[in-house]
C-alpha cells in the first residue's frame, strides 16, 4: 500500500485516496473547435508509461482535494506531490 | 501413561502442568509449553500423515515454520481448521487433531497404491494424461483429482471467532527475536525509537534457545530473557510473540498476523482469534534467521528422517528425544552440535560426515565425548516404511561421485544437516534483488530497495560475535537518524565455538541398480527424477520448472526444498546457481487464515449500512427492506399474507388513484454555492442553466467526457447563488468527485463550493392525484395551488414549526411533491404526512412500486443509465443544448453515436398480455435462428403496469426509433423463456405528461 504525502494533510495511506489518471492531460477549452484526433487524445489515448509518471489522486477520505503525484509506475516510488493548482516544474 | 521419549529433566516445558490431547482418536498427554509435534514425539508418534501425491507415510521434518509434512486438521471448541502445522500448534488441554490426505486411516491408506504406481506418475503426469477425451475432464478426472488432493477440509459452518485489524506506525519494525533482532531492538530502544519487535514463535530468543553459547557471562538463553524482560518495560517498545510478519509491501508497509488465541482451548471473551497488523515502519530490520537445509538421499522422506536442528530443538526446548539410536548425517559442524546434545542425554549417536578431515572446536568436543564419527561417509538410503529402521550407508570418494561398499546399520532416526539457508523472503518481497554468496551456497539480500536492512543469519552471517556486533551497530545507527539521540550500548563479550568450513555436497548419488526416490520437495512429492524429466522435456527457466514439477509450490513454499532444487538444475544445466536464479518470493511467507485477512468485515459488517431517519417507522410498519447501494430501503410494506408482487401492485395503484408517500432520503444531495454556481451547472449538465430563476427546479442530465450519461436529477435554485442538486442514490459519491475534479483542476477560476448534504436532509415523495390536497393540509399557510407552486416550482414552508423545502417534482409521473426537512425532523415529517394523509387513503410505497411507476411512465433510471448509453438512447436528446458547450458534448459527434440505427429506449408488451418478461432478456427477430442469435436489444426493466393491468418492460433496442409496432421475441435462455412481444412507445402511461402539470 502506497504512502502518499498529501500536500494539505501530510503522509496518508493509499486507502484514503482514489486514483484519477494521467495529470498531464489538458482538457481542450470550452467552445473551441477540436479535431477528432485532439479529442481522442484527450478522452482515450494515454501513454501508460513505465517509469516516472505525473498522475492525479483525490484524497477522497480526507480533505477531498485532487492532488498531483509524481510516481514511478514500475517501482511505485513517489518523488513529489503537488496541490491541484501548483505548477509542476 | 508414560512418555517414552521425554527425558527426565531439561527443556523449557512446564512439567507441573499436564495437558491431555487426542490425535487420530487416541488419547495422549503432553506438557504446557509443548507443540503438538513435540508432544506426539514424546509419545513416540512419528507417523502423522501421508504425502500429497504418492501417499507415502510422513512424519516430522522440522520443528517450526519450515515443516513440510506434519499438517493436521485441528478441532478446537466445536470448530475445525485445516492446514495447521503440528510443529507450530501449541498444545492446550483437550486439543484434538487428525491426519489429512489419507483414507481410511493414516496407518492404512488406500491412496498409497500411488506409491507403487509411481513410475506412472512422473512430473507433468496430470497435464499429460487428463487431456483426453476433453469431455472427461468435468465428469471424471476433475472430481477424482479433487477427492485425492487437498490437505484438509475447510469448515462449512459460520466462523464464530472474531478477527481484528490494527494499523500501527513505528520507527523500527524488527522481524525476528533471535540474537540480531534482540540486539538491534535494544540499541534502537535505548535511542528512544518507537520499536516493534515481532517473533513468530511463542518463545523469544530464536537460535539462542538451542545454541550452546555465552553472552556477557550468561548463557545465550538467559541473556535473551534478560533483554526481553527489559524491552517489555520500555514504553517505546512493543514486543509481540506468536506474531508472523508475512508480507512486505510498498512504502515500508508490512503485515503481521498475531495468533492471539490459537494456543488456548477457547478464545477469551472480547478477545479476537487473530489480529492482523498493518504496520508502516520508517525502517525495517529483518532478523529472520536461517533454515537448515536437507541433504538429498534415497527414501529421505521416511518418518524419522529430520533436520538435525529440529532434533536439537526438540531436545533442548521440549526435552524430547526424536530417537534413541540416532544417526547424524552432516556436511558441516551443525550436525555435531546435535550429536553432542544426544550424547549429553545418554544416547549414543553415530555421525556421518561427508567431509574427509574436518577440524574444529565443536568436532574436538564431539571426539572428546567419544562420539562415533565416520568421515567421508554418506547415507545412501533410509530403510523402513512407516518409520526409519536402519540406514544403508557407504563411504564416498573425494570427487563425491563413487560410493564404497554399502553397509546397513540399525538406527531409529536420521538427523540431517546440509548447512543453512538464510531466510530472505521478506527482503526479497521488499524488492531487494538478492545475490548468491559462494561461501554459504545460498542467496542473501543485495542492495536495499526500501528502508530495510537484513541482519544476522538472514544476511548470511553465521558467527554470533559478528551478528551481535553488526546488529547492535545497525540498531543504534538507524535509530539515531530518526530520534537524533545517541545513547551508546556496550556490546557484550561472546563465547562461542568456532566451526569449520562446510562441504558443498548436497545430494547422494544413486548406487548402481537402485532406484530410490530422492525427494527435493517433501510436501509436494517432487523427487530428483521429476526435475530431471522436466529439464529433459525442455523446461529451462526455473519458474517453469517450478510450475511443471510443483517444486516449492506447497504450503511451505519450498522453505526446505528451493535451494536443493536450484542445485540440481544448475548441475544438470552445467550452470552456476546464481545463473539459474531463484523463483520469486511472494507474500505470504506462511499461510494466513482467511478470517484474519477479512477481519471484522463479515456479514452485516462487510459494508456500512445506512438507514434513513424514518427507518424505525418503516420497521414498525412491516416494511421489507432491500439493499440499495449502502442504504437499506423499504422494498414494500407487507399487509397480511401479501407477497412482493401483490404488495407493490397495491402500493403503485394507490399512488395512481389516491396518494402515496415514499422515503427518498437516500437520493444524493449536493449544495452548490457561489457566484459562478450557474456557470458550473451550465458546463456540467447538457441543458441550459443560466436563466433558471430563483424558486425553480430543472431536470438535468450530466455526461462523462466520453459522451456516456453519468447521472441525472433535478437541481433547484434556492437563492441567487445557492443551488440544491440531487443525484441518483448510486452515483452520489461519484458526482461529487466529478464536480470537485472540474472545480479544482479544470476550471479553478470558477468561484463555487460543493458539499454533500445527503445526510443533512430527510426526504419524502408525496405522489398521486390527491397529493395537493394533502400538501395543503400539511402547509396551511402556503399557497400550493397550481399557480402558487407550479410544476418544477419550489417553496419554503413551515411544517408545524419545522422549516421545510417543498419541491414540485415527480418521478412517478403523477402530480407529486418532494418535501425535505432537516434529518432530525424526518420522522416527525413522516408521521405528520401519514396522519394528515389518512383521509386521502395514503399508503407508504417502497422501491418496487417506485420502479413500477417510473417504468410505465418511461422515466429512465440506473438500469438504462448503465454506463453504455448516451442521451439519445434514453430519449433525452431534447435536453442536449445545441448552443452551449458542456462536458462530453464533443464526444456526441462520434459516428457510432450519430448512426441512423442507433439504439434507443422503447416499451415492450408481451403479445399475450400475461407473461412477465425477465429483465435482461434479449430481443431477437427469430428465436429459432442458430446461435449466436443476433441480439437487437435487451430488456432493461420490467414491471406489471398498474394502469393497464398487464406486464410492461423497457428495452434498449437497436434502431428503436423505427421499431414501434414491430413484433419480436424476448428470449431468456437463463430462465428458459421465449416470449412473443410487441414494441411500443416507452411512454406507456400519460405520454403527454399532463398529470405532473395538473
| Low-confidence winner among B16-25, B251-260, B331-340, B556-565 (lowest mean pLDDT) | B556-565
Band (pLDDT 50/70/90 cuts) for residue B629 is: confident
> Does residue B392 have a pLDDT over 60?
yes
| A39 → closest Cβ in B741, B748, B890 | B890
Q: What is the pLDDT of residues B366-385, one digit of tens each?
A: 999 999 999 999 999 999 99
Q: How far B891 CA lies from chain A's nearest CA (Å)?
A: 8
Band (pLDDT 50/70/90 cuts) for residue B219 is: very high
Q: Are A76 and B737 inside 8 Å of each other by CB?
A: no
The neighbour count for residue B932, using CB atoms within 10 Å, is 6
Predicted pLDDT of residue B156: 86
Predicted pLDDT of residue B606: 86
Q: Are B891 and A13 inside 8 Å of each other by CB?
A: no
| A85 → closest Cβ in B250, B706, B748 | B748
Task: Please tell me if residue B706 touches chain A, with a CB cutoff of 8 Å.
Answer: yes
User: What is the arithmetic mean of pLDDT over B577-600?
Assistant: 89
ipTM (interface pTM): 0.98
Task: Please tell me if residue B251 touches chain A, with a CB cutoff of 8 Å.
Answer: yes
> Does residue B622 have a pLDDT over 60?
yes
Predicted pLDDT of residue B300: 96
Task: Please tell me if residue B264 touches chain A, with a CB cutoff of 8 Å.
Answer: no
First to last CA, chain B: 93
Closest CA to B816 of B953, B660, B986: B660
CATH number at residue A74: 3.30.2270.10
User: What is the arithmetic mean of pLDDT over B188-211?
Assistant: 97
Tell me the DSSP string of B836-871: HHGGGT-EE--HHHHHHHHHHHT---TTTSSSS--G
Q: Are A30 and B885 inside 8 Å of each other by CB?
A: yes
Task: Find the helix packing angle between B562-573 and B528-536, rounded to 10°.
Answer: 40
Task: Please tell me if residue B490 touches chain A, with a CB cutoff of 8 Å.
Answer: no
Predicted pLDDT of residue B134: 60
Predicted pLDDT of residue B106: 66
Q: Average per-residue pLDDT in chain B?
A: 93
Predicted pLDDT of residue B167: 96
Class for domain B14-113, per CATH? alpha beta
Residues of chain A with C-beta less than 8 angstroms from the C-beta of B251: 1-3, 76, 78
For A35, name the nearest residue in chain B, comparing CA atoms only: B890
B182, B293 Cβ separation under 8 angstroms: no
Residues of chain B with C-beta less than 8 angstroms from the C-beta of A18: 737
> Does residue A47 have a pLDDT over 70?
yes
Q: Are B251 and A76 inside 8 Å of each other by CB?
A: yes
> Does residue B170 have a pLDDT over 60?
yes
How many contacts (CB atoms, under 8 Å) link A and B? Answer: 54
For B682, name the nearest residue in chain A, comparing CA atoms only: A30
Domain containing A13 equals 3-83
Task: Please tell me if residue B891 touches chain A, with a CB cutoff of 8 Å.
Answer: yes
In a domain, A11, yes or no: yes
- Is B134 buried (19+), middle (13-18) or exposed (0-12) by CB count in 10 A? exposed
Quick one: CA dihedral B796, B797, B798, B799, positive or negative? negative
Domain coordinates in residue numbering, chain B: 14-113, 118-145, 163-290+422-486, 294-418+499-516, 518-573, 899-990
Buried b or exposed e, range B853-867, using 16+ CB within 10 angstroms: bbbbbbbbbbbbbee
Residues of chain A with C-beta less than 8 angstroms from the C-beta of B250: 1-3, 76
Residues of chain B with C-beta less than 8 angstroms from the C-beta of A56: 745
| A84 → closest Cβ in B278, B683, B744 | B744
| B249 → closest Cβ in A1, A18, A27 | A1
In a domain, A88, yes or no: no
> Which has more pLDDT, B555 or A53?
A53
Tell me the β-bridge partners of B663.
B764
B809, B714 Cβ separation under 8 angstroms: yes
Q: Are B705 and A43 inside 8 Å of each other by CB?
A: yes
Q: Are A65 and B249 inside 8 Å of each other by CB?
A: no
Q: What is the pLDDT of residues B261-316, one digit of tens each?
A: 999 999 999 999 999 999 999 999 999 999 999 999 999 999 999 999 999 999 99
Phi, psi of B218 (to 5 degrees): -125, 165
Q: Are B737 and A18 inside 8 Å of each other by CB?
A: yes
Q: How many domains does chain A have?
A: 1
Band (pLDDT 50/70/90 cuts) for residue B671 is: very high
Task: Please tell me if residue B146 touches chain A, with a CB cutoff of 8 Å.
Answer: no
Q: Are B705 and A27 inside 8 Å of each other by CB?
A: yes
> Which has more pLDDT, B659 or B123?
B659
Q: How far A45 CA lies from chain B's nearest CA (Å)?
A: 12
Q: What is the pLDDT of residues B465-492, one digit of tens each?
A: 999 999 999 999 999 999 999 998 999 9
In eight-state DSSP terms, residue B539 is: -
Residues of chain A with C-beta less than 8 angstroms from the C-beta of B898: none
User: What is the arithmetic mean of pLDDT over B173-191?
Assistant: 98
Q: Are B251 and A58 inside 8 Å of each other by CB?
A: no
Q: Are A13 and B280 inside 8 Å of each other by CB?
A: yes
Q: Are B745 and A76 inside 8 Å of each other by CB?
A: no
At the fourth CATH level, which superfamily is domain B899-990?
Answer: Aminomethyltransferase beta-barrel domains (2.40.30.110)
Q: Using CA atoms, how far apart are residues B437 and B422, in angstroms rounded to an integer? A: 10
Band (pLDDT 50/70/90 cuts) for residue B157 is: confident
> Does residue B327 have a pLDDT over 80?
yes
For B883, name the nearest residue in chain A, comparing CA atoms only: A31
Phi, psi of A48 (to 5 degrees): 50, 60
The neighbour count for residue A15, using CB atoms within 10 Å, is 12
> Does residue B120 have a pLDDT over 80?
no
Query: Most A CBs within 10 Å: which of B251, B597, B734, B870, as the mutation test of the A interface?
Result: B251
Closest CA to B568 of B534, B508, B528: B528
Predicted pLDDT of residue B1: 52
Q: How far B60 CA lies from chain A's nearest CA (Å)?
A: 37
Predicted pLDDT of residue B277: 98
Q: How far B484 CA lies from chain A's nearest CA (Å)?
A: 21
At the fourth CATH level, which superfamily is domain B163-290+422-486?
Answer: FAD/NAD(P)-binding domain (3.50.50.60)
Q: What is the pLDDT of residues B833-859, one digit of tens each?
A: 999 999 999 999 999 999 999 999 999
Predicted pLDDT of residue B448: 92
- Residues of A with a Cβ under 8 Å from any B Cβ are 1-3, 13, 18, 20, 27-28, 30-31, 34, 39, 42-44, 56, 58, 60, 64-66, 75-76, 78, 84-85
For A84, name the nearest residue in chain B, comparing CA atoms only: B745
Q: What is the pLDDT of residues B887-899, one digit of tens each?
A: 999 999 999 999 9
Residues of chain B with C-beta less than 8 angstroms from the C-beta of A66: 740-741, 744-745
Task: Please tell me if residue B9 touches chain A, with a CB cutoff of 8 Å.
Answer: no
Kind of pairing, strands B494-495 and B753-756? unpaired
Q: Which residues of B694-742 form beta strands (DSSP E)?
A: 697-703, 709-719, 722-727
Kind of pairing, strands B442-444 and B816-822? unpaired
Task: Please tell me if residue B683 touches chain A, with a CB cutoff of 8 Å.
Answer: yes
Task: Please tell me if residue B746 touches chain A, with a CB cutoff of 8 Å.
Answer: yes
At the fourth CATH level, which superfamily is domain B294-418+499-516?
Answer: FAD/NAD(P)-binding domain (3.50.50.60)
Predicted pLDDT of residue B130: 57
| A30 → closest Cβ in B253, B683, B706 | B683
Task: Please tell me if residue B451 touches chain A, with a CB cutoff of 8 Å.
Answer: no
Query: Most B CBs within 10 Å: which of A20, A43, A77, as the mutation test of the B interface?
Result: A43
| B744 → closest Cβ in A2, A43, A65 | A65
Q: Which residues of B371-525 form beta strands (DSSP E)?
A: 372-375, 377-383, 390-395, 407-410, 413-417, 420-422, 435-437, 442-444, 452-454, 494-495, 519-521
Tell me the DSSP string of A22-77: ETT--PPPTT----HHHHHHHHT-----SSEEEEEEE-TTTT--EEEEEEETTT--
> Does residue B147 have a pLDDT over 70?
no
And the C-alpha cell for B498?
Answer: 568456532
Q: How far B954 CA lies from chain A's nearest CA (Å)?
A: 31
The neighbour count for residue B225, using CB atoms within 10 Å, is 18
Band (pLDDT 50/70/90 cuts) for residue B125 is: low
Predicted pLDDT of residue B579: 87
User: What is the arithmetic mean of pLDDT over B710-719?
Assistant: 97
Q: Are A3 and B280 inside 8 Å of each other by CB?
A: yes
Q: Using CA atoms, how far apart are residues B25 and B75, in angstroms rounded to an integer? A: 11
- Is A64 buried (19+), middle (13-18) or exposed (0-12) by CB count in 10 A? middle
Band (pLDDT 50/70/90 cuts) for residue B49 is: confident
Band (pLDDT 50/70/90 cuts) for residue B365 is: very high
Task: Please tell me if residue B738 touches chain A, with a CB cutoff of 8 Å.
Answer: no
Residue whose entry in the numeric block shows the C-alpha cell 423497457: B954
Query: Most B CBs within 10 Å: which of A64, A69, A78, as the mutation test of the B interface?
Result: A64
Predicted pLDDT of residue B604: 84
By residue count, chain B amounts to 998
> Does residue B145 have a pLDDT over 70?
no
Q: Using CA atoms, how far apart are residues B74 and B84, in angstroms rounded to an integer? A: 7
Residues of chain A with C-beta less than 8 angstroms from the C-beta of B278: 1
> Does residue B997 have a pLDDT over 70?
yes
Buried b or exposed e, range B444-474, using 16+ CB within 10 angstroms: bbeeebbbbbbbbbbbbbbebbebbebbbbb
| B740 → closest Cβ in A2, A27, A66 | A66
Residues of chain B with C-beta less than 8 angstroms from the C-beta of A75: 431, 449
Kind of pairing, strands B660-663 and B843-844? parallel
Tell me yes or no: is domain B518-573 CATH 1.10.10.1100. yes
Q: Which residues of B826-976 form beta strands (DSSP E)?
A: 843-844, 904-910, 922-924, 937-945, 950-957, 967-972
Amino acid at each position: 500500500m502506497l504512502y502518499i504525502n498529501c500536500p494539505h494533510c501530510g503522509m496518508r495511506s493509499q486507502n484514503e485516496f482514489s486514483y484519477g489518471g494521467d495529470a498531464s492531460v489538458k482538457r481542450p477549452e470550452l467552445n473551441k473547435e477540436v479535431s477528432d484526433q485532439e479529442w481522442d487524445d484527450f478522452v482515450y489515448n494515454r501513454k501508460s508509461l513505465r517509469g516516472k509518471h505525473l498522475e492525479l489522486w483525490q484524497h477522497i477520505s480526507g480533505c477531498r482535494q485532487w492532488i498531483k503525484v509524481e510516481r514511478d509506475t514500475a517501482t511505485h516510488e513517489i518523488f513529489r506531490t503537488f496541490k491541484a493548482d501548483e505548477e509542476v516544474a | 501413561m508414560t512418555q517414552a521419549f521425554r527425558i527426565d529433566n531439561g527443556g523449557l516445558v512446564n512439567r507441573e502442568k499436564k495437558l491431555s490431547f487426542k490425535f487420530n482418536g487416541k488419547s495422549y498427554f503432553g506438557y504446557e509449553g509443548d507443540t503438538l509435534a513435540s508432544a506426539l514425539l514424546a509419545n513416540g508418534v512419528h507417523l502423522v500423515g501421508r504425502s500429497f501425491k504418492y501417499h507415502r507415510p510422513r512424519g516430522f521434518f522440522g520443528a517450526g515454520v519450515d515443516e513440510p509434512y506434519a499438517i493436521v486438521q485441528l478441532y478446537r471448541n466445536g470448530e475445525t481448521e485445516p492446514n495447521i502445522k503440528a510443529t507450530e500448534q501449541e498444545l492446550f488441554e483437550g486439543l484434538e487433531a487428525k491426519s489429512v490426505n489419507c483414507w481410511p486411516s493414516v496407518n492404512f491408506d488406500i491412496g498409497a497404491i500411488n506409491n507403487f504406481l509411481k513410475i506412472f506418475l512422473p512430473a507433468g503426469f496430470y497435464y499429460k494424461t487428463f487431456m483426453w477425451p476433453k469431455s472427461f475432464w468435468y465428469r471424471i478426472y476433475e472430481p477424482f483429482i479433487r477427492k485425492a488432493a487437498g490437505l484438509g477440509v475447510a469448515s462449512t459452518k459460520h466462523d464464530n471467532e472474531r478477527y481484528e485489524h490494527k494499523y500501527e506506525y513505528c520507527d523500527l519494525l524488527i522481524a525476528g527475536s533471535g540474537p540480531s533482532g534482540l540486539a538491534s531492538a535494544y540499541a534502537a530502544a535505548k535511542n528512544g525509537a518507537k520499536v516493534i519487535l515481532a517473533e513468530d514463535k511463542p518463545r523469544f530468543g530464536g537460535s539462542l534457545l538451542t545454541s550452546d553459547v555465552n553472552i556477557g557471562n550468561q548463557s545465550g538463553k538467559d541473556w535473551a530473557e534478560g533483554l526481553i524482560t527489559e524491552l517489555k518495560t520500555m514504553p517505546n517498545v512493543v514486543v509481540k510473540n506468536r506474531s508472523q510478519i508475512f508480507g512486505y509491501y510498498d512504502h515500508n508497509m508490512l503485515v503481521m498476523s498475531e495468533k492471539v488465541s490459537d494456543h488456548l482451548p477457547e478464545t477469551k471473551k472480547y478477545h479476537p482469534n487473530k489480529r492482523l497488523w498493518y504496520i508502516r515502519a520508517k525502517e525495517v530490520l529483518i532478523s529472520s534467521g536461517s533454515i537448515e537445509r536437507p541433504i538429498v538421499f534415497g527414501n529421505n522422506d521416511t518418518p524419522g528422517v529430520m533436520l538435525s536442528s529440529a532434533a536439537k530443538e526438540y531436545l533442548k526446548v521440549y526435552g524430547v528425544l526424536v530417537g534413541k539410536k540416532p544417526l547424524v548425517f552432516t556436511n558441516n559442524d551443525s550436525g555435531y552440535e546435535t550429536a553432542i546434545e544426544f550424547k549429553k542425554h545418554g544416547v549414543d549417536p553415530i555421525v556421518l560426515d561427508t567431509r574427509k578431515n574436518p577440524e574444529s572446536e565443536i568436532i574436538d568436543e564431539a571426539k572428546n565425548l567419544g562420539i562415533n564419527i565416520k568421515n567421508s561417509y554418506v547415507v545412501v538410503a533410509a530403510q523402513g516404511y512407516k518409520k526409519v529402521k536402519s540406514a544403508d550407508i557407504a563411504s564416498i570418494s573425494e570427487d563425491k561421485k563413487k560410493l564404497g561398499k554399502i553397509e546397513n546399520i540399525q538406527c531409529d532416526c536420521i538427523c540431517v544437516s546440509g548447512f543453512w539457508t538464510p531466510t530472505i523472503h521478506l527482503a526479497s518481497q521488499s524488492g531487494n534483488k538478492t545475490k548468491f554468496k559462494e561461501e554459504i551456497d545460498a542467496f542473501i539480500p543485495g542492495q536495499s530497495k526500501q528502508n530495510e536492512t537484513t541482519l544476522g543469519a538472514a544476511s548470511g552471517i553465521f558467527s554470533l560475535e559478528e551478528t551481535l556486533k553488526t546488529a547492535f551497530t545497525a540498531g543504534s545507527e538507524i535509530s539515531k537518524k530518526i530520534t537524533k539521540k545517541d545513547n551508546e550500548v556496550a556490546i557484550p563479550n561472546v563465547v562461542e565455538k568456532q566451526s569449520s568450513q562446510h562441504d558443498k555436497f548436497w545430494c547422494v548419488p544413486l548406487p548402481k541398480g537402485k532406484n530410490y526416490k530422492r525427494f527435493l520437495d517433501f510436501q509436494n512429492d517432487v523427487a530428483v527424477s521429476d526435475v530431471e524429466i522436466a529439464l529433459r522435456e525442455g523446461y529451462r527457466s526455473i519458474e517453469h520448472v517450478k510450475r511443471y514439477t510443483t517444486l516449492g509450490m506447497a504450503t511451505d513454499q519450498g522453505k526446505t526444498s528451493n535451494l536443493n532444487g536450484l542445485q540440481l538444475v544448475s548441475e544438470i544445466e552445467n550452470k552456476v546457481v546464481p545463473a539459474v536464479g531463484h523463483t520469486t518470493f511472494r507474500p505470504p511467507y506462511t499461510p494466513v487464515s482467511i478470517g484474519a485477512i477479512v477481519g471484522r468485515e463479515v456479514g452485516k459488517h462487510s459494508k456500512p449500512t445506512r438507514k434513513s431517519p424514518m427507518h424505525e417507522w418503516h420497521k414498525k410498519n412491516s416494511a421489507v427492506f432491500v439493499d440499495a447501494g449502502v442504504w437499506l430501503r423499504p422494498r414494500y410494506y407487507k399487509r397480511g399474507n401479501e407477497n412482493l408482487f401483490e404488495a407493490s401492485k397495491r402500493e403503485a395503484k394507490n399512488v395512481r388513484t389516491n396518494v402515496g408517500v415514499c422515503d427518498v432520503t437516500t437520493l444524493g444531495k449536493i449544495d452548490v454555492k457561489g457566484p459562478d454556481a450557474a456557470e458550473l451547472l451550465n458546463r456540467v449538465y447538457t441543458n441550459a442553466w443560466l436563466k433558471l430563476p430563483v424558486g425553480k427546479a430543472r431536470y438535468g442530465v450530466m455526461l462523462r467526457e466520453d459522451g456516456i450519461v453519468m447521472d441525472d436529477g433535478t437541481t433547484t435554485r434556492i437563492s441567487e447563488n445557492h443551488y440544491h442538486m440531487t443525484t441518483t442514490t448510486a452515483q452520489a459519491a461519484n458526482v461529487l468527485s466529478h464536480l470537485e475534479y472540474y472545480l479544482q483542476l479544470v476550471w479553478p477560476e470558477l468561484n463555487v463550493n460543493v458539499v454533500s448534504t445527503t445526510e443533512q436532509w430527510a426526504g419524502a415523495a408525496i405522489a398521486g392525484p390527491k397529493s395537493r390536497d394533502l400538501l395543503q393540509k400539511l402547509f396551511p399557510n402556503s399557497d400550493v395551488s397550481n399557480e402558487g407552486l407550479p410544476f418544477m416550482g419550489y417553496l419554503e414552508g413551515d411544517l408545524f414549526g419545522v422549516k421545510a423545502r417543498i419541491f414540485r417534482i415527480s418521478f412517478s409521473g403523477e402530480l407529486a411533491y418532494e418535501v425535505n426537512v432537516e434529518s432530525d425532523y424526518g420522522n416527525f415529517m413522516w408521521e405528520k404526512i401519514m396522519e394528515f394523509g389518512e383521509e386521502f387513503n395514503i399508503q407508504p410505497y417502497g422501491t418496487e412500486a417506485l420502479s413500477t411507476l417510473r417504468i410505465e411512465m418511461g422515466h429512465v433510471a440506473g438500469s438504462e443509465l448503465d454506463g453504455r448509453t448516451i442521451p439519445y438512447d434514453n430519449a433525452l436528446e431534447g435536453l442536449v443544448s445545441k448552443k452551449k458547450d458542456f462536458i462530453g458534448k464533443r464526444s456526441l459527434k462520434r459516428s457510432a453515436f450519430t448512426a441512423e440505427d442507433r439504439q434507443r429506449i422503447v416499451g415492450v408488451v408481451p403479445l399475450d398480455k400475461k407473461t412477465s418478461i425477465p429483465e435482461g432478456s434479449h430481443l431477437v427477430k427469430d428465436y429459432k435462428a442458430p446461435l449466436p442469435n443476433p441480439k437487437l436489444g435487451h430488456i432493461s426493466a420490467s414491471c406489471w403496469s398498474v394502469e393497464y393491468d398487464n406486464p410492461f418492460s423497457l428495452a434498449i433496442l437497436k434502431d428503436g426509433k423505427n421499431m414501434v409496432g414491430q413484433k419480436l421475441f424476448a428470449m431468456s435462455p437463463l430462465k428458459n423463456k421465449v416470449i412473443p412481444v410487441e414494441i411500443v412507445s416507452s411512454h406507456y402511461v400519460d405520454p403527454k405528461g399532463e398529470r405532473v402539470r395538473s
